Amino acid sequence: GMRPEDFRPGAGRVRLTRGELAEMAELDEAYVAELEAPGLVWVSPAGHYDQDAVIICQLAARLQQFGFEGRHMRSFRVVADRETGLIEQMATPFSKTTGRERDSKVRAQEAVREIAALFMQLHAALLRAELIRSGKA
Protein backbone atom coordinates (compact mmCIF):
# COMPACT_ATOMS: atom_id res chain seq x y z
CA GLY A 1 0.00 0.00 0.00
CA MET A 2 0.95 3.65 -0.20
CA ARG A 3 2.94 5.05 2.70
CA PRO A 4 3.37 8.75 3.48
CA GLU A 5 7.08 8.53 2.55
CA ASP A 6 6.04 7.55 -1.01
CA PHE A 7 5.01 11.19 -1.49
CA ARG A 8 8.34 12.72 -0.44
CA PRO A 9 9.82 14.81 -3.28
CA GLY A 10 13.07 13.71 -4.89
CA ALA A 11 12.56 10.01 -4.15
CA GLY A 12 14.46 8.18 -6.91
CA ARG A 13 15.08 11.32 -8.96
CA VAL A 14 15.97 10.58 -12.59
CA ARG A 15 16.36 12.82 -15.65
CA LEU A 16 15.09 11.28 -18.87
CA THR A 17 14.34 12.32 -22.43
CA ARG A 18 11.01 11.33 -23.97
CA GLY A 19 12.78 8.59 -25.93
CA GLU A 20 14.36 7.17 -22.78
CA LEU A 21 11.05 7.37 -20.93
CA ALA A 22 9.23 5.55 -23.76
CA GLU A 23 11.92 2.85 -23.82
CA MET A 24 11.80 2.31 -20.04
CA ALA A 25 8.00 2.03 -20.07
CA GLU A 26 7.97 -0.02 -23.32
CA LEU A 27 5.63 2.50 -24.93
CA ASP A 28 5.70 4.31 -28.27
CA GLU A 29 6.81 7.93 -28.01
CA ALA A 30 3.48 8.84 -29.61
CA TYR A 31 1.66 7.25 -26.66
CA VAL A 32 3.85 9.18 -24.21
CA ALA A 33 2.79 12.34 -26.09
CA GLU A 34 -0.84 11.19 -25.74
CA LEU A 35 -0.36 10.96 -21.95
CA GLU A 36 1.33 14.35 -21.91
CA ALA A 37 -1.59 16.13 -23.61
CA PRO A 38 -4.02 15.80 -20.64
CA GLY A 39 -1.14 16.31 -18.20
CA LEU A 40 -0.56 12.78 -16.91
CA VAL A 41 3.18 13.19 -17.44
CA TRP A 42 5.19 16.37 -17.92
CA VAL A 43 8.74 17.63 -18.24
CA SER A 44 10.58 19.56 -15.55
CA PRO A 45 11.52 23.19 -16.28
CA ALA A 46 14.90 21.78 -17.41
CA GLY A 47 13.09 19.60 -19.96
CA HIS A 48 13.43 16.17 -18.34
CA TYR A 49 11.01 13.48 -17.21
CA ASP A 50 11.41 12.03 -13.70
CA GLN A 51 10.77 8.78 -11.80
CA ASP A 52 7.05 9.59 -11.37
CA ALA A 53 6.71 9.85 -15.16
CA VAL A 54 8.35 6.42 -15.49
CA ILE A 55 5.89 4.85 -13.03
CA ILE A 56 2.87 6.54 -14.65
CA CYS A 57 3.98 5.44 -18.13
CA GLN A 58 4.64 1.87 -16.97
CA LEU A 59 1.13 1.69 -15.48
CA ALA A 60 -0.33 3.22 -18.65
CA ALA A 61 1.54 0.61 -20.72
CA ARG A 62 -0.06 -2.18 -18.71
CA LEU A 63 -3.50 -0.57 -19.05
CA GLN A 64 -2.92 -0.18 -22.79
CA GLN A 65 -2.83 -4.00 -23.02
CA PHE A 66 -6.48 -3.94 -21.88
CA GLY A 67 -7.41 -1.37 -24.54
CA PHE A 68 -6.93 1.83 -22.55
CA GLU A 69 -5.98 4.87 -24.57
CA GLY A 70 -4.66 8.29 -23.61
CA ARG A 71 -8.18 9.75 -23.72
CA HIS A 72 -9.38 7.22 -21.14
CA MET A 73 -6.68 8.48 -18.79
CA ARG A 74 -8.07 12.04 -18.67
CA SER A 75 -10.46 11.12 -15.87
CA PHE A 76 -7.45 10.21 -13.69
CA ARG A 77 -6.09 13.72 -14.21
CA VAL A 78 -9.45 15.27 -13.25
CA VAL A 79 -9.67 13.14 -10.09
CA ALA A 80 -6.04 13.85 -9.16
CA ASP A 81 -6.57 17.60 -9.57
CA ARG A 82 -9.71 17.54 -7.42
CA GLU A 83 -8.00 15.48 -4.72
CA THR A 84 -4.85 17.61 -4.76
CA GLY A 85 -7.00 20.68 -4.09
CA LEU A 86 -8.83 18.90 -1.29
CA ILE A 87 -5.62 17.63 0.32
CA GLU A 88 -4.02 21.09 0.19
CA GLN A 89 -7.15 22.58 1.74
CA MET A 90 -7.18 19.98 4.54
CA ALA A 91 -3.46 20.51 5.25
CA THR A 92 -3.68 24.33 5.38
CA PRO A 93 -4.51 24.56 9.13
CA PHE A 94 -1.26 22.69 9.90
CA SER A 95 0.81 25.43 8.27
CA LYS A 96 -1.08 28.20 10.10
CA THR A 97 -0.27 27.09 13.63
CA THR A 98 2.03 29.31 15.63
CA GLY A 99 5.68 28.46 16.07
CA ARG A 100 8.72 28.61 13.85
CA GLU A 101 7.85 28.94 10.17
CA ARG A 102 10.05 26.02 9.13
CA ASP A 103 8.39 23.72 11.68
CA SER A 104 4.90 24.60 10.46
CA LYS A 105 5.97 23.99 6.82
CA VAL A 106 7.30 20.54 7.78
CA ARG A 107 4.07 19.77 9.68
CA ALA A 108 1.98 20.79 6.67
CA GLN A 109 4.09 18.59 4.35
CA GLU A 110 3.72 15.64 6.72
CA ALA A 111 -0.06 16.20 6.80
CA VAL A 112 -0.19 16.31 2.98
CA ARG A 113 1.71 13.02 2.68
CA GLU A 114 -0.37 11.32 5.37
CA ILE A 115 -3.70 12.45 3.83
CA ALA A 116 -2.54 11.42 0.33
CA ALA A 117 -1.59 7.94 1.56
CA LEU A 118 -4.99 7.62 3.26
CA PHE A 119 -6.75 8.71 0.03
CA MET A 120 -4.90 5.97 -1.88
CA GLN A 121 -5.89 3.33 0.67
CA LEU A 122 -9.49 4.56 0.61
CA HIS A 123 -9.55 4.32 -3.21
CA ALA A 124 -8.31 0.74 -3.11
CA ALA A 125 -10.85 -0.27 -0.44
CA LEU A 126 -13.77 1.36 -2.29
CA LEU A 127 -12.79 -0.17 -5.62
CA ARG A 128 -12.46 -3.63 -4.08
CA ALA A 129 -15.79 -3.30 -2.24
CA GLU A 130 -17.61 -2.09 -5.38
CA LEU A 131 -16.25 -4.86 -7.59
CA ILE A 132 -17.11 -7.52 -5.02
CA ARG A 133 -20.61 -6.07 -4.51
CA SER A 134 -21.27 -6.10 -8.27
CA GLY A 135 -20.03 -9.69 -8.47
CA LYS A 136 -17.35 -8.73 -11.00
CA ALA A 137 -14.42 -9.71 -8.78
The conformational region for residue 99 under phi > 0 = left, psi -120 to 50 = alpha, else beta, is left
Given a contact cutoff of 8 angstroms between Cβ atoms, the answer to whether 52 and 17 are in contact is no
The C-alpha atoms of residue 123 and residue 1 are separated, in whole angstroms, by 11
Provide the pLDDT confidence category of residue 9 given band limits of 50, 70 and 90: low
Backbone phi and psi for residue 51, each to the nearest 5 degrees, phi listed first: -60, -35
Q: Which of 7, 2, 10, 11 is nearest to 91 (CA)?
A: 7
- C-beta of residue 21 within 8 angstroms of C-beta of residue 50: no
Who has greater pLDDT, 101 or 43?
43
Using pLDDT thresholds of 50, 70 and 90, give the confidence band for residue 69: confident
